Amino acid sequence: MKKISLLLITFCLLVGCSSNKENSIMVGAVLPLTGNYAQYGKYMKQGIELAIEDAIDNKKIEEGQVTFIFEDSKAEARTSVNAINKLIEHDNIIACIPATSAVTLAMKPITNKNEVVLINATAISPLIEDAKDFVFSIIPDATFEGNFLANYAYYVLKKKRAAIIYRNDQSGIGFNESISKKFREHGGEIKYIGAQQPNDNNFMSHILKIKEFSDIDVIFVMLFGPEVANFAKQSKENGIEKQIMTYETFNSQTALSIAGNSANGIIFCSPKFDKNSKDSLSIRLRNKIKEKYNQSEYNYFIAAHYDAAMLIIEGISQGNISGQELKNYLYQTNLYKGLTGEIRFSEKGGAEVPLVVFTVKNEKFTILEEI
């Protein structure tokens, strides 16, 4: 096992644990702990914390056997590069959990070069999984989900004329390319395509242009959850009553709170995650979240990062204590039953996960259809 210096007294996931034991396996997490995505970084961090506590409680690992070191990415590529270099050179990590597509893509060549496993839980750029390397995803990418949404809109909802509003980043561009191509292949028309800068919540320019096309019957809003909520709210305020379709980042109480009754009827796809599940693990986690964080919110971001951390912990518990060993273990994992569904890895480390269609009724998420 790798030795670490007593000088590496870093924030440890385990409050009160001995994080600098000589035989501790070091794992990184580069998350948006400050900045525009800090709320989501908080949820991600909670998921990791809960996973390691459960792993210790269930005797998968001993206390202090695995240490998670958290670094703040601010959701910025440059900041994340500094963070991953520090984690590799100073902390000797064997694996890391990133967040956001820009950050994951910036870290990818560095972790591949240094044989450090990346497990991506929430970023969906199609560029992330393009080779059989050290990068794994437990969430389907924008091409997979975009094709799914286009198919569902055209064949199930019988929508024929669409608008696309996409986030002008790696994920949004991937969504726009896949949806526009697939929808047109089926015979649908794309009447309007508009790019929106990240974190810009003023959608009036798009709304006014969409109003010019009275025959549009579906709007693909491929933005981050709170941005989708703001678009929905502004659209309703301006008299647009069109079917909105989006993806799993909308699956949070934050987005519902912003949208209010404008959320009703929105349809989105997501790996199967039911925050109200009656299974014993979900019940236990909801109780832990209330006790540990004084928080009622239990969402996809918590669950996905719980799954990512638990996959790493499972691998380490079976003796895979180097990046290369962990990589081999993950490629040999035929099925992982997580909180976010049954996860299989493709030949390039991408996620093969069944999707579920959700909608919002009376300002509450409900499963519309399981595919």
Q: Which amino acid is at 339?
A: L
Contacts of residue 175, defined as CB under 8 A and 6 or more positions apart, other chains included, come to: 142, 145, 146, 164, 166, 167, 220, 222, 247
- Say whether pTM exceeds 0.85: yes
C-alpha 96: how far from its chain's center? 15
Separation of alpha carbons 277 and 298, rounded Å? 11
Phi, psi at 19, each rounded to 5°:
-80, -10
pLDDT number for residue 75: 94
pLDDT number for residue 284: 94
Separation of alpha carbons 146 and 17, rounded Å? 43
> How big is the CA angle at 217 (ends 192 and 215), to the nearest 5 degrees?
70
pLDDT number for residue 254: 87
pLDDT number for residue 275: 84
Domain with CATH 3.40.50.2300 in the chain: 25-139+277-354, 142-271+356-370
> How big is the CA angle at 357 (ends 351 and 359), to the nearest 5 degrees?
140
Answer left, alpha or beta for residue 153, where phi above 0 means left and psi between -120 and 50 means alpha: alpha
Output 13-19 pairs: Cβ under 8 A, ≥24 positions apart: 13/48, 13/49, 13/52, 13/67, 13/68, 13/70, 14/52, 14/53, 14/56, 14/63, 14/64, 14/67, 17/63, 17/64, 18/63, 18/64, 19/64, 19/67
Tokens of 173: 């561009």
Q: Return averaged pLDDT per consecutive 10 residues of the chain, 371 residues in all.
A: 36 41 88 93 97 96 96 96 98 97 97 98 94 96 96 97 96 96 98 95 96 96 95 97 95 91 96 87 95 94 96 97 97 91 92 92 88 67
Domain 142-271+356-370 has CATH 3.30.420.40: no
Fold of 25-139+277-354: Rossmann fold (3.40.50)
Strands 267-271 and 355-361: antiparallel
Tokens of 5: 């210096």
